[in-house]
Amino acid sequence: MTDPIADIGLIGLAVMGQNLVLNMNDHGFTVAVYNRTVSKVDDFLADNAAGTNVVGAHSIEELIGLLKRPRRVMLMVKAGKPVDAFIETLLPYLEPGDIIIDGGNSNYEDSIRRTAYLESKGLLFIGTGVSGGEEGARFGPSIMPGGSPEAWQHVKDIFQSISAKVPEGDPNGAPCCDWVGENGAGHFVKMVHNGIEYGDMQIIAEAYQLLKEGLGLDNDAMSAVFDRWNGGKLESYLIEITRDILAYRDEDGNAVLDLILDAAGQKGTGKWTAESALNMGIPLTLIGEAVFARSLSALKEQRVAAAGVLRGEASPFTGDQAAFID
């Protein structure tokens, strides 16, 4: 059997998983990787991970054998049943004090259940939010760990090393990662974080609608407005990419935004936030309405039919355009 050499194991080599592995490698940690489709392990080692210290495993048993004690295994797989299935697959190979980490977008109630279940078997569990998308995972995400408090000391160095820093780009800055609480606290914080983002995006969508339909601005003019907003107190990633999307053209010079169907999907975290607020009796109207707006946008056929029946006369804006925008 191979001697334990890896600081952490990661299961799930989709883009988020791969990028987290490369981020950990960049910060001096040895990572052992496994994927259910084993060929992806070899492909990763031959391509994106070529020349790194990443170690591949072709079975769960081999993966666990590569890990230093206490063994730390991070799951980057689809939320729900796949997480539970991998936990059951891991159990025969783990020993008391080992740590399973779920880095997907799991429901916090599932993380509460998994914490209790694994602690009853002498194991430790962390359910952590990972925010920042593919780029963040590669170069510095925000990480929100919660679960078994005893586990934090064993992952703190890894997580805080790979996380984003404040000020941005300062390797000695404050890490965008700290322990947020027991049980499902990590995934609860991530859920609310995503819910807030739903609200932010709905505000941006309504601002776009007012600029387009109320003021009659074209895409370039709206892009200029968002560019100005991004230079002040509204500066943010979402305002920045809205500016860029409005200005984006395809190879034929057509505005790409005008070619995209106006129907939004959702992954569920905004809905979970609204449901949790209702269950707790907490008023959360902005996020609730943002979720409903996405549901409405998905009803494209019904909206088209309703527009033919309910359309009223246009009411052009006659006030001070600049003052309205400000």
Residue ranges of the domains in the chain? Answer: 8-182, 190-325
pLDDT value at residue 308 = 87
Which of 190, 206, 233, 251 is the catalytic position? 190
The model's pLDDT over 125-147, given as tens digits with 9 standing for 90+, comes to 999 999 999 999 999 999 999 99
**Higher confidence at residue 3 or residue 165?**
165
To the query of whether residue 156 is one of the catalytic residues in this protein, the response is no
pLDDT of 1 > 70? The answer is no
What fold characterizes domain 8-182? Answer: Rossmann fold (3.40.50)
Print burial letters for 55-91: b (CB count within 10 Å at least 16), e (below 16). bbbeebebbbbbbeebbbbbbbbebeeebeebbeebe
Specify the CATH superfamily of domain 190-325.
N-(1-d-carboxylethyl)-l-norvaline Dehydrogenase; domain 2 (1.10.1040.10)
Cα→Cα distances 193→132, 199, 254, 273, 291, Å: 11, 10, 34, 9, 14
190-325 and 8-182 share a CATH fold: no
To the query of whether residue 68 is one of the catalytic residues in this protein, the response is no
pLDDT of 266 > 90? The answer is no
The model's pLDDT over 271-294, given as tens digits with 9 standing for 90+, comes to 999 999 999 999 999 999 999 999
Which of 156, 197, 212, 300 is the catalytic position? 197
Give the confidence band of 168 by pLDDT, cuts at 50, 70, 90: confident
Mean pLDDT (whole number) for 197-210: 96
Mean pLDDT (whole number) for 30-40: 98
Give this prediction's pTM.
0.90
